[in-house]
Chains A and B, each alone.
Chain A
Amino acid sequence: MADGSAQYTDGPTTLLASINGPIEVKPRDEIPLEAFLEITIRPSAGVTSVREKHLEALLRSAVSPLIIRTINPRTLFQITLQIIQHEQVSAAHALHTLLASAIVVVVLALVDAGVPMKGMLAAAFVEGADGSAAHVFGYAITGGGGREGGGPKEGLVFVESDGVFDEKGFVEASEVGRKKCLEVGELMKGWVREKIGRDMKYRLK
């Protein structure tokens, strides 16, 4: 059994994330003053390929600034993401739709596991008007996300784009992304509230 987990379905994509930690770390991965972050993505069929490894790297850059790693030095946080279902709506941007959902589900699982965090991140996938560009936007929905300690205001903290687009197209897309992110963020907050409400249900008569 994992220490925290979450499942998330967005259209044709269903993902399952599990978190374990802080647990004992392999000596060669040990970092003296920080926790080590292990991210594994398992495809729905077949074995892990370059695609999953690429996604792991993107996910790491989105999630690792959220985690306060100095609280548990010389330990390991294990993040495992199982792709349960992922239909490729547009083959070119399959990775980006996956990334947006992956960020959401991993953040939810981290909150469930009680991992010390600087903030929560909501993410959304936006396709350019003519379908030639794909963007993933990540918004910090509850402060934090960046600078050590203090943390900046809520706002855009993560962008991953692909394809052909100009400045105007990007600004338009980012506006759509912002709205989507805030929507997803409210949903995420609601789910966390629900979860904590269930944990505290014993108080009722």
Chain B
Amino acid sequence: MSLAVHFPGETLPPLEEDEKKNTTFKVGPGLTHILPSTLIVNRAGELNIDQRKHTIWMESNGKRYVASQNDTIIATVLRSTSDSYICAIPSSNSPVSSTSQAVLPHLAFPQATKKTRPMLHQGSVVFARISLANKHIDPELECYDADSGKAEGFGELKGGFVFGVSLGMARRLLGDAKKTRLLRVKQRRAEAERRGEEYQDAGADMSSGKEVLEELGQNLSFELAVGRNGRVWVHSGDPKTTLCVMRCIQQSEFLTGKEQRQLAKEALKALGQ
């Protein structure tokens, strides 16, 4: 598989002019923007350009999460103050104590008033959305859907089991790889056209990276929540099932789609399903 890797310090060639003039690109993580229009890579990885959404960013795996707006994350409650909960945003493999802190206001729950608010205790796990992220201040969290104002799955995650995966794996489990795959195929087709060749799908990039979940989901019943901070919450009636799901997800980090299905099948057999 040919992978075009960019290294920190590289200056990117100017972006291609869109048919619609004056479109503004959103510059994502891994790139430094120098005015007026120079982009410099600051993190080794693969360059992604979405011409339709006008976004450009570096794709690379990591283990340390840095808060960014509208990300859905799994956080841990540290303590409560008079009007908000102080939460920790753990990363893939970090203990809660060494992580960045965030503020979750008592009123940032669906239909919460001063008298009726969910009681969260130290150590509670919440699924929340980052409503404010700025490098100079602590991030703020919200536990309701921004559009509908309803819970939509946000809030305390009761029971279950939390474990860590790499940030790239977490994004894959959320289905990001499927979206970027189309992007890459399109990019490659455009490149082939520019060279005057016929584009041939070499069969690379066929996996979404979450085949393991699809396979497990067909045979076991469990609840799953994935946070972009590299935390995964699993809940099922039976500890054996929970651990099986955890082991399979953690082991499929560096496996291809086919290998992931194989792994899941073997694990299910061992579980007696």
Collect the chain B residues with CB atoms within 8 Å of residue A73's CB. 135-136
* Contact of A197 (CB < 8 Å), options: B1, B42, B206, B260: B1
Pair A202/B256 contact, Cβ less than 8 Å: yes
Closest to A119 in B: B9
Known contacts A118-B9, A203-B177; decide if A151 and B258 are in contact (CB<8 Å).
Answer: no
Q: How far is the CA of A145 from the CA of B135 in the complex (A)?
A: 23
Residues of A within 8 Å of B, CB-based: how many? 45
Interface status of B204 (Cβ within 8 A of chain A): yes
Which of A89-97, A123-131, A188-196 makes up part of the contact surface?
Answer: A188-196
Could you tell me the distance in whole angstroms from the C-beta of A49 to the nearest C-beta in chain B?
Answer: 28
Per-residue interface assignment for chain B, residues 8 to 24, with 1 indicating a CB less than 8 Å from any chain A CB and 0 otherwise: 11110000000000000
Known contacts A114-B60, A193-B3; decide if A144 and B254 are in contact (CB<8 Å).
Answer: no
Interface status of B219 (Cβ within 8 A of chain A): no
Known contacts A22-B64, A196-B44; decide if A151 and B9 are in contact (CB<8 Å).
Answer: yes
Known contacts A114-B43, A199-B60; decide if A24 and B98 are in contact (CB<8 Å).
Answer: yes
Pair A111/B93 contact, Cβ less than 8 Å: no
Q: How far is the CA of A143 from the CA of B45 in the complex (A)?
A: 16
Interface status of B139 (Cβ within 8 A of chain A): no
Could you tell me the distance in whole angstroms from the C-beta of B248 to the nearest C-beta in chain A?
Answer: 14
Pair B1/A203 contact, Cβ less than 8 Å: yes
Known contacts A24-B98, A117-B43; decide if A201 and B8 are in contact (CB<8 Å).
Answer: no
Q: How far is the CA of A113 from the CA of B92 in the complex (A)?
A: 12
* Contact of B9 (CB < 8 Å), options: A72, A120, A201: A120
Residues of B within 8 Å of A, CB-based: how many? 51
Pair A198/B254 contact, Cβ less than 8 Å: yes
Pair B5/A196 contact, Cβ less than 8 Å: yes
Pair B258/A205 contact, Cβ less than 8 Å: yes
Collect the chain A residues with CB atoms within 8 Å of residue B99's CB. 23-24
Residues of chain B from 221 to 270 with CB closer than 8 A to chain A in the complex: 252-258, 260
Could you tell me the distance in whole angstroms from the C-beta of B174 to the nearest C-beta in chain A?
Answer: 14
Closest to B34 in A: A149
Could you tell me the distance in whole angstroms from the C-beta of B99 to the nearest C-beta in chain A?
Answer: 7
Main secondary structure of the interface of A (DSSP, over half): loop
Pair A116/B42 contact, Cβ less than 8 Å: yes
Interface status of A171 (Cβ within 8 A of chain B): no
Pair A72/B66 contact, Cβ less than 8 Å: yes
Per-residue interface assignment for chain A, residues 15 to 26, with 1 indicating a CB less than 8 Å from any chain B CB and 0 otherwise: 000001111100
Interface status of B193 (Cβ within 8 A of chain A): no
Pair A72/B135 contact, Cβ less than 8 Å: yes
Q: How far is the CA of A21 from the CA of B1 in the complex (A)?
A: 31
Residues of chain B from 60 to 84 with CB closer than 8 A to chain A in the complex: 60-64, 66
- Centre residue among A71, A189, A200 by max chain B CB count within 10 A: A200
Pair A205/B256 contact, Cβ less than 8 Å: yes
Pair A114/B64 contact, Cβ less than 8 Å: yes
Closest to B31 in A: A116
Q: How far is the CA of A120 from the CA of B9 in the complex (A)?
A: 7
* Contact of A120 (CB < 8 Å), options: B8, B32, B254, B258: B8
Pair B207/A118 contact, Cβ less than 8 Å: no
Known contacts A111-B44, A200-B46, A204-B257; decide if A117 and B3 are in contact (CB<8 Å).
Answer: no
Q: How far is the CA of A198 from the CA of B45 in the complex (A)?
A: 12
Could you tell me the distance in whole angstroms from the C-beta of B209 to the nearest C-beta in chain A?
Answer: 4
Pair B60/A145 contact, Cβ less than 8 Å: no
- Centre residue among B40, B44, B45, B260 by max chain A CB count within 10 A: B44
Pair B257/A202 contact, Cβ less than 8 Å: yes
Interface status of A156 (Cβ within 8 A of chain B): no
Q: Which residues of A contact B (CB under 8 A)?
A: 1-4, 20-24, 68, 71-74, 111, 113-120, 140-145, 149-151, 189, 192-193, 196-205
